[in-house]
């Protein structure tokens, strides 16, 4: 429930990613051999088939001239987020349409502008998203922090911010695309939304 105004729509409780989905994906991606690379390639192809507009959005954003480390981080995080949603929600994920993706991006932009315009605002837009999807945001922050620590001298921080924002839009778009499972109880706060 929001304490302050936000342009970001709340994420339904059934669409929240559990920590174990991210840990499972992390364990599968930890291998660095030919089989693991083949699995990553196959997973990215599934992502492109299941979410063509979202995959295109990610590819367009990461196709700009970016620092190599930021680029690798971006593809890793985008694929990890998709795999975690796929593992957790499977057939309950609808395809994110281009207009839905654009609307989500615009909501994030509007929320960022609202927060910059209010000097009393203590939260950033990613803090709001973290309240809705805490496990995935903690996972993303962990990997960004580790990358920045390991490559502090040579990484372009602006490129990392570009990657981060693309992943935030992906998280929101996928969150909004999850259908309510049959028989799932509706929370009181979701009735009011």
- C-alpha to C-alpha distance for 75 and 79, rounded to whole angstroms: 6
Quick one: tokens of 173?
């778009």
Contact between 16 and 88 (Cβ < 8 Å): no
What residue ranges do the domains of the chain occupy? 15-179
Q: What integer pLDDT is reported at residue 57 of this predicted model?
A: 96
Q: What integer pLDDT is reported at residue 2 of this predicted model?
A: 44
- Among all chains, which residue has been given the structure tokens 């309950």? 92
Q: What integer pLDDT is reported at residue 177 of this predicted model?
A: 97
- C-alpha to C-alpha distance for 96 and 3, rounded to whole angstroms: 28
Quick one: tokens of 73?
């981080």
Give the three-state DSSP class for 178.
strand
Which residue ranges of the chain lie beneath pLDDT 70?
Answer: 1-4, 32, 186-193
Q: What integer pLDDT is reported at residue 54 of this predicted model?
A: 97
What Rg, from alpha-carbon coordinates, does the chain have? 17
- Exposed e or buried b per residue across 138-176, where buried means at least 16 C-beta atoms within 10 angstroms of its C-beta: ebbeebbeebeeebeeebeeebbebbbbbbbbbbbbbbb
- C-alpha to C-alpha distance for 121 and 115, rounded to whole angstroms: 6
- C-alpha to C-alpha distance for 79 and 73, rounded to whole angstroms: 10
């Amino acid at each position: 429930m929001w304490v302050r105004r936000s342009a970001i729509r709340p994420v339904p409780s059934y669409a929240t990613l559990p920590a174990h989905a991210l840990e499972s994906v992390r364990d599968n991606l930890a291998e660095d051999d030919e089989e693991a690379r083949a699995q990553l390639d196959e997973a990215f192809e599934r992502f492109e088939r299941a979410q063509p507009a979202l995959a295109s959005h990610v590819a367009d954003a990461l196709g700009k001239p970016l620092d190599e480390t930021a680029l690798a981080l971006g593809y890793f995080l985008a694929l990890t987020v998709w795999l975690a949603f796929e593992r957790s929600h499977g057939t309950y994920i609808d395809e994110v349409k281009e207009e839905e993706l654009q609307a989500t991006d615009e909501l994030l932009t509007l929320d960022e502008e609202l927060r910059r315009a209010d000097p009393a605002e203590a939260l950033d837009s990613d803090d709001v998203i973290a309240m809705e999807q805490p496990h995935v945001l903690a996972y993303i922050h962990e990997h960004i922090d580790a990358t920045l620590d390991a490559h502090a001298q040579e990484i372009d921080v602006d490129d990392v911010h570009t990657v981060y924002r693309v992943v935030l839009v992906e998280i929101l778009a996928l969150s909004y695309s999850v259908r309510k499972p049959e028989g799932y109880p509706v929370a009181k706060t979701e009735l009011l939304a």
